[in-house]
Amino acid sequence: MDSFTLSRRQMLEGAAALGAVSSLSTAAFAQEPARWPAVTRLISRYVEQRKVANMVAALGTGQGAPTFLSVGLDSFGQPRKANAESIYRIYSMTKPITGMAVAQLISEGKLGLDQPLHEILPKFRTMRAQKRYDGPISADNLEPAARAITIRHLLTHTAGLGYSLVQQGPIGQAFRDRGLVPGVVTRLQYLPVFRGKAVTGLEAFADRLAEMPLVYQPGTRWSYSMGADLLGRVIEVVSGQPFDRFLQDRLFDPLGMRDTHFHVPRSKAERMTTSYFLLGSALLPIDVGRDSVYFEEPAFPFGGAGLASTPRDYDRFLRMLLGYGQFEGKRVLSEAAVRLGTSDLLPDTLLKKDEYGTTWGFGALGRVGRGDQAGVYGWAGAAGTLGFVDIKRQLRAGLFTQYMPQMEYPLIDEFPKAILADLAARERA
């Protein structure tokens, strides 16, 4: 499994932990860091054991001010202490932002949830799907798509598009050869998972993706994909604005997310963290904060994994979701958009044998809870970041650090469990 995805075991354990958090009342929630001893111990242990250079947790309820717990330095050997203004590569935590932008366009009537993609991008009208997953790209392994790809499919990773970071064999190589590389991690090309150069421009990306076979029939399987990146192009066509400009105007500026960028200004280099790759027990710096690849113009704004942000900025996004689209008295997204995006949008054509759909739901590019966990929405990033809201109980939480591969440490399980321990202790007090 590649570094951009969560292992099935981790997602199951993380879902169970979030569900346990959801079962507790948050009425006793307080803003003081001392009220979070288990979370503090968790992040302190990771830094003290030099498993990571830093760790910042952001916790809040309702529209209240967040609590930030910070340990360590932005980079090993650098003097700046990590805090709420440290800039992190949030990678796939970009996806919920893209997803909510799409949900807003749906609520405005500019897109339809079940609208065929080819009505917006005609080159996706006639698609082929592989008969054998990650098999050869040959006529005997391809068949016509049984149904049209829809916006719902793109939002829920059920379009069958595939992911160059996931697919193996000929199709994985074909993605890289054609520049279908949905992100930039490092300039170091000797690590195979990071090889490849993205094609320039979202239009070219979308056109080339339309020429590739699907890895599954649309609507049948949950399969982590480049759907979020393709939705960036959908947003451009529907809105008439460049994708990154749309996000700036509709989300980042209204929310005061001043440090959230696809292209980080070099003037902010002092606050840019360093990203590390875990080789055994050693942490290899793969993107140094003071000379990050994020200071260079990206090939296009990657809607699936392209943003850098801060704990404070991302908390503002989560806080807006808890307000059903309102933030500090301003309407940023419609209530309908937030309710749609945080609901279970998996298609009814999903095969019953699909493990993902039997365990939990999926909304606008983020996992959603079912049953007692209803109202939980969020996703994780490749380099150890995690963000979620529990709308029903008005809880929001974010975790920020920088190491890869993400699954090497069980933080997606441990962080919610630490929150649970602190809330449970408060219930008993």
pLDDT per position as a tens digit, 283-332: 999 999 999 999 999 999 999 999 999 999 999 999 999 999 999 999 99
Return the SS3 of 11.
helix
Whether residue 367 sits in one domain with residue 279: yes
Q: Which pLDDT does position 357 carry in this prediction?
A: 79
Task: Spell out, as residue ranges, where the chain has pLDDT lower than 50.
Answer: 1-16, 23-30
Residue 135 class from Cβ within 10 Å (0-12 exposed, 13-18 middle, 19+ buried)? middle
222: domain range?
111-239
pLDDT digits (tens, 9 = 90+) for 246-286: 999 999 999 999 999 999 999 999 999 999 999 888 999 99
**Structural domain includes residue 294:** yes
Q: Which pLDDT does position 190 carry in this prediction?
A: 67
Residue 253: CB atoms within 10 A of its CB come to 12
Whether residue 254 sits in one domain with residue 223: no
Instruction: Give me the CATH number covering residue 57.
Output: 3.40.710.10
Q: Which pLDDT does position 11 carry in this prediction?
A: 43
Helix (H) or strand (E) holding 95: helix 94-107
Whether residue 308 sits in one domain with residue 371: yes
**Structural domain includes residue 81:** yes
**Structural domain includes residue 36:** yes
**Structural domain includes residue 263:** yes
Token couple for 329: 């008295």
Whether residue 417 sits in one domain with residue 319: yes
Q: Which pLDDT does position 31 carry in this prediction?
A: 54
Q: Which of 198, 223, 239 is the last residue of a domain?
A: 239
Quickly tell me which residue has 């980042």 as its tokens.
252
Q: Which of 204, 239, 274 is the last residue of a domain?
A: 239
**Structural domain includes residue 103:** no
Whether residue 228 sits in one domain with residue 282: no
Task: Write the CB contacts of 52 (distance below 8 Å, at least 6 apart in sequence).
Answer: 46, 72, 276, 283, 384, 401, 402, 403, 409
Q: Which pLDDT does position 205 carry in this prediction?
A: 98
**Structural domain includes residue 180:** yes
**pTM (2 d.p.):** 0.93
**Structural domain includes residue 319:** yes
What is the total count of domains within the chain? 2
Q: Which of 179, 211, 239 is the last residue of a domain?
A: 239
